[in-house]
């Protein structure tokens, strides 16, 4: 059995800190390292992006109404999309939660927070973090995701936006697929910074930050207004000539990605001797320290903005000082550390 002390150490509170600091991918001009990051496992394409592309292809071919059907809104196909997305989210998030938090296949190895999600806590609906997070994910997240998806299909079906076709322009079609995670990172960063504007934080984003000790269902647990903004990145396809498949892929990756990003574990124990990095520490540090790591993708936006936390003691001191300077203005009373 792999000992997580080979990869990190635990502090006096039982929280696990990886030996390797959080780092951004190599810059494109460092071509050899950049291409290695693109194709390695885990990297830019594998396994997550390719998995979402493959799942999107299956759903597009076998579980999406025809474009002709979606020219006119109707309860039948809208309800079908909603039911389909509920099944997909329940399966993916449920699998992450089942293996890591119910069956606990790897115990607390590589778990960033030494505790398990809260129970009997009045901060959460039903006094249980997992139940609260599941409720907001399914009752708000999936319906709003579905609404954006349906609206996108309707726009394409009625030719209100420009199409591109794979057979006529395969290079541009594939390029858009490959670049969607980059655009999502930029969109997420900008929306996230807006949500940390004090009025928006108090009214909206605070709900997501109730989960300091995150788990898979925390990823999509948001206020409905935040869901509306979070999935709004799909609007790019009304500006850039695209295909309805791009709408599906972007929303699917945006909707399912937070399960891994909020897994609460920095590595998966694959067997007795192998692990796979999940690269979750960057966003975990945002939930822990608040004033850092607003982005969570390949673009070094936080480094440019001076809000990057790599997990080091120096970064902790700098970010904690930044947090304390704004805590009173935002009405945040919890301590960091």
In the chain, DSSP finds a helix count (H) and a strand count (E) of: 13, 4
163 has which bridge partners? 242
DSSP track, 255-280? HHHHHHHTSSBSEEE-SSS-EEE---
pLDDT score at 337: 44
pTM of the predicted protein model: 0.93
pLDDT in the model for residue 43: 95
Q: Is the peptide bond before 162 cis (omega within 30 degrees of 0)?
A: no
Alpha carbons 185 and 196: distance in angstroms, whole number: 16
The answer to whether residues 204 and 192 touch, using CB atoms and an 8 Å cutoff, is no
pLDDT for res 332: 53
Confidence at residue 273, expressed as pLDDT on a 0 to 100 scale: 82
**Residue 7 phi, psi (nearest 5):** -115, -15
**In the chain, which residues have pLDDT < 50?**
333-337
Give the per-residue pLDDT at 335: 44
Q: Is 269 helix (H, G, I), strand (E, B) or coil?
A: strand
Residues 45/131, Cβ–Cβ less than 8 Å: no
Q: What are φ and ψ of residue 121, in 5° steps? A: -125, 120
From CA 44, how far away is CA 300, in angstroms rounded? 14
Per the document, the length of the chain is 337
Q: Give the angle 312-289-205 at the CA atoms, nearest 5°.
A: 150
């Amino acid at each position: 059995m792999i000992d997580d002390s080979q990869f990190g150490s635990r502090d006096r509170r039982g929280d696990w800190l990886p030996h390797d600091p959080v780092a951004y991918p190599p810059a494109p001009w460092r071509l050899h390292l950049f291409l290695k990051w693109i194709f390695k496992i885990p990297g830019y394409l594998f396994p997550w992006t390719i998995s979402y592309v493959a799942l999107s292809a299956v759903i597009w071919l076998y579980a999406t109404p025809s474009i002709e059907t979606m020219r006119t809104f109707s309860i039948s196909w809208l309800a079908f999309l909603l039911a389909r997305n509920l099944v997909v989210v329940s399966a993916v998030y449920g699998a992450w939660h089942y293996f890591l938090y119910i069956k606990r296949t790897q115990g607390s190895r590589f778990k960033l927070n030494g505790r398990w999600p809260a129970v009997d806590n009045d901060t959460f609906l039903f006094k249980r973090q997992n139940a609260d997070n599941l409720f907001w994910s399914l009752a708000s997240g999936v319906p709003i995701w579905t609404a954006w998806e349906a609206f996108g299909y309707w726009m394409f079906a009625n030719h209100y936006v420009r199409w591109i076709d794979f057979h006529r322009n395969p290079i541009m079609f594939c390029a858009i697929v490959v670049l969607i995670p980059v655009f999502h990172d930029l969109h997420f960063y900008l929306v996230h910074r807006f949500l940390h504007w004090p009025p928006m934080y108090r009214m909206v984003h605070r709900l997501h930050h109730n989960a300091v000790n995150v788990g898979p269902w925390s990823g999509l647990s948001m206020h409905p207004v935040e869901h509306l903004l979070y999935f709004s990145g799909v609007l790019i396809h009304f500006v850039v000539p695209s295909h309805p498949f791009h709408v599906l892929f972007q929303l699917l990756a945006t909707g399912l990605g937070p399960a891994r990003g909020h897994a609460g574990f920095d590595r998966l124990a694959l067997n007795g001797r192998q692990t796979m990095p999940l690269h979750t520490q960057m966003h975990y540090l945002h939930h822990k320290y608040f004033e850092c790591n607003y982005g969570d993708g390949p673009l070094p936006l936080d480094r440019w903005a001076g809000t990057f936390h790599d997990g080091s003691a120096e970064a902790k001191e700098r970010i904690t000082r930044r947090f304390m300077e704004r805590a009173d203005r935002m009405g945040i009373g919890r301590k960091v550390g």
